[in-house]
């Protein structure tokens, strides 16, 4: 393994981010809540058929145990109890099967469209109940979030007609982000359009890295890539701005010099204005002070003199009438206050002297302050803040050249680490690809594509200029799945040759391989049987049923071959009553299941032949 990057290697800053969203867990959503009493208000609970499989016949992993819905589209009130193993949902087109899947998506946090609210209703309520006995990771996460749980989880969501919604987990408010973290361990929803993900080559690397347990190593690569591109961008910006830095340095030095030369202090402009106001009116102030002094103690009828006389009069009168004593005692405080005022005026007068030179000095100082304020203000505080910021900016500019040298050394070190990690990731991908190809081929053989050839192509990424190697946050590899459906034909990209039915089977093969280590408890397949029929459909159904040994599997289907293989069967119907549409769902017993499979076989008219064929298919499915 190379220890240092080759000369001229390229790090692409454009990173493919969609792959983390589209595969292999494209159906993950998250969120949920409902007010008390939903179950009682959602109609009768529909229980699984009484003839249950013997213990151990089905996988013992049961995650989604109950789904309750109120006022969602054509569903007014409905509660389903779900069992372990493989459960199929069938019904006429438009009956509302996909609404049930939408309800689960809503409970897990999907974005709510206003059109989902049932006409005339003020709110929609969806509640999903999960058994967490086999999901310790979810229980731990609930503990971390402070959500109480005794082995179960109820996600409840209320959507109101005013656009508001509430989400709770076990009656505790929870954020969408935290709920999404829970949901990825609970349910994986795979829709009929998700097969198209396989036509997006950027998703193939996600499948491969998930299979090979390489997401942690890829995370290290992404972190190093982010560090490298950040440093490279910073160095490029510093280089491009070198001339601007020099000009900016000169500007900062000039500004700092001017402000420092002014030596202004906080509040100095106000102090200068105040002192000027006094000096500009000093004659008037002196005149006022003299007049007050004379009125207080020096002129005829002075205040202090009169107060003294009043005190003497009241003292003599108090000897004649004790009631006057109270009045006499009120005079002394007035006289003391008047004396304090007189002394203050006298002290103030002593400071008042005309000083033309001081006025000129203050006006000159004020002109300097105002000029600095106009340039760097508007206020002195703003000027001083600008000075401090300018000093900091200048210090940073002085360090810029040193930073460039340091950045170069750091960039070289990170480049080496990135190169080594990318090379390690590429090597691990090649090992994983060999195992993935072998397991996918095994699955495709079981799915009726026994002559197919499948290969994972891993090529170095080419930059926009055609040079290699080029690294992104995903590593240094272009990963693409290649297929040959017919013997003698070379493998080619899936987008060029795969039919809809082949895409369905390839996706199912990938799901089967990846779910071996998938912590998700419930797998939902929403009409993923598009493009297949006949024997291939029965093989796909067998594969889905086999997944039911390790996961709870729910499947919406139109194919009798798949429906016949269900451990449990739910029939979804749509009814009209008083100009209103209602979607219903009910579990089928064996006899009803045979009739539904017969309907899927022959259409509206169920013949005796189709009944016999359906009975045989259901029996074989057992």
Q: How many CA atoms lie within 13 A of 172 on its CB side?
A: 14
pLDDT of residue 7: 53
Find the mean pLDDT for residues 431-443. Answer: 92
Q: What's the start-to-end Cα distance of the chain, in Å?
A: 54
Q: How far is CA 203 from the centre of its chain?
A: 22
Burial of 505 (0-12, 13-18, 19+ CB in 10 A): buried
- Which residue reads 């990963």 in tokens? 479
Query: Does residue 547 surpass a pLDDT of 60?
Result: yes
Statement: residue 438 has pLDDT above 60: yes
Q: pLDDT value at position 263?
A: 82
Q: Are strands 522-526 and 64-72 parallel, antiparallel or unpaired?
A: unpaired
pLDDT tens for 29-66 read 333 333 333 333 333 333 333 333 333 344 456 689 99
The pLDDT, as a whole number, for residue 13 is 52
pTM of the model: 0.60
**Range of lowest pLDDT (281-285, 477-481, 561-565):** 281-285
Q: Express each pLDDT in 323-382 by its tens digit.
A: 888 888 888 888 898 888 888 888 888 888 887 888 888 888 888 888 888 888 788 888
Domain ranges of the chain: 10-213+452-588, 218-420, 590-622
171 against 503, higher pLDDT: 171
Fold that domain 10-213+452-588 belongs to in CATH: Rossmann fold (3.40.50)
Average pLDDT score over the chain: 81
- Position 195 scores a pLDDT of 66
pLDDT digits (tens, 9 = 90+) for 510-541: 888 887 766 678 888 887 777 677 777 888 88
What the block records as the tokens of 582 is 């209602």
CA 29 to chain CA centroid, nearest Å: 12
């Amino acid at each position: 393994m190379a220890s240092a990057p080759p000369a001229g290697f390229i790090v692409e800053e454009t990173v493919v981010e969609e792959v983390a969203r589209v595969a292999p867990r494209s159906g993950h959503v998250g969120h949920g809540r409902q007010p008390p009493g939903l179950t009682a208000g959602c109609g009768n609970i529909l229980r699984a058929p009484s003839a249950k499989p013997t213990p151990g016949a089905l996988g013992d992993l049961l995650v989604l145990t109950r789904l309750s819905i109120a006022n969602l589209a054509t569903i007014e009130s409905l509660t389903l109890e779900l069992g372990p193993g493989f459960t199929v949902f069938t019904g006429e087109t438009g009956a509302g099967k996909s609404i049930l899947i939408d309800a689960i998506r809503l409970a897990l946090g999907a974005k709510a469209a206003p059109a989902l609210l049932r006409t005339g209703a003020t709110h929609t309520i969806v509640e999903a109940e999960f058994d967490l006995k086999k999901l310790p990771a979810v229980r731990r996460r609930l503990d971390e979030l402070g959500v109480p749980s005794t082995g179960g989880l109820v996600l409840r969501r209320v959507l109101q007609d005013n656009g508001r919604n509430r989400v709770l987990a076990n009656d505790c408010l929870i954020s969408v982000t935290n709920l999404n973290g829970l949901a990825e361990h609970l349910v994986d929803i795979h829709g009929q359009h998700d097969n198209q993900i396989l036509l997006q080559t950027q998703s193939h690397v996600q499948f491969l890295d998930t299979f090979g347990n390489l997401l942690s190593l890829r995370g290290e690569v992404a972190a190093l890539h982010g560090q490298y591109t950040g440093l490279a961008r910073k160095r490029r910006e510093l280089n491009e701005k070198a001339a601007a830095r020099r000009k900016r340095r000169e500007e900062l030095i000039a500004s700092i010099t001017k402000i420092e030369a002014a030596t202004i202090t906080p509040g100095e402009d106000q102090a200068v204005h105040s002192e000027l106001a006094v000096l500009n009116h000093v004659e008037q102030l002196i005149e006022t002070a003299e007049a007050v002094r004379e009125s207080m103690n020096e002129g005829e009828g002075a205040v202090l003199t009169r107060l003294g006389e009043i005190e003497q009069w009241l003292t003599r009168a108090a000897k004649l009438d004790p009631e006057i004593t109270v009045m006499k005692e009120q005079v002394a405080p007035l006289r003391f206050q008047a004396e304090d005022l007189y002394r203050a005026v006298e002290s103030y007068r002593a400071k008042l002297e005309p000083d033309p030179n001081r006025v000129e000095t203050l006006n000159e100082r004020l002109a300097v302050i105002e000029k600095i304020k106009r340039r760097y203000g508007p206020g002195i505080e703003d000027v001083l803040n600008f000075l401090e910021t300018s000093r900091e900016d200048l210090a940073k500019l002085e360090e810029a050249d040193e930073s460039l040298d340091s950045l170069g050394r750091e960039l070289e070190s990170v480049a080496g680490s990135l190169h080594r990690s990318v090379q390690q990731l590429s090597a691990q991908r090649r090992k994983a690809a060999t195992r993935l190809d072998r397991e996918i081929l095994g699955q495709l053989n079981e799915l009726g594509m026994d002559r197919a050839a499948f290969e994972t192509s891993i090529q170095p990424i080419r930059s926009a200029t055609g040079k290699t190697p080029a690294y992104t946050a995903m590593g240094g590899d272009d990963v693409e799945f290649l297929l040959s459906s017919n013997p003698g034909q070379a493998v080619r990209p899936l987008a060029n040759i795969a039919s809809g039915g082949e895409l369905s089977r390839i996706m199912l093969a990938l799901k089967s391989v990846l779910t071996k280590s998938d912590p998700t408890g419930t797998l939902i397949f929403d009409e993923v049987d598009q493009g297949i029929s006949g024997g291939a459909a029965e093989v796909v159904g067998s594969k889905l049923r086999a997944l039911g040994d390790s996961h709870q599997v729910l499947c919406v289907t139109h194919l009798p071959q798949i429906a016949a293989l269900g451990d449990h069967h739910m029939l979804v119907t749509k009814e009209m009553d008083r100009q209103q549409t209602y979607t219903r769902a009910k579990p089928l017993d064996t006899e009803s299941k045979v009739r539904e499979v017969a309907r899927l076989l022959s259409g509206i008219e169920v013949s005796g032949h189709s009944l016999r064929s359906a009975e045989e298919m259901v029996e074989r499915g057992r």
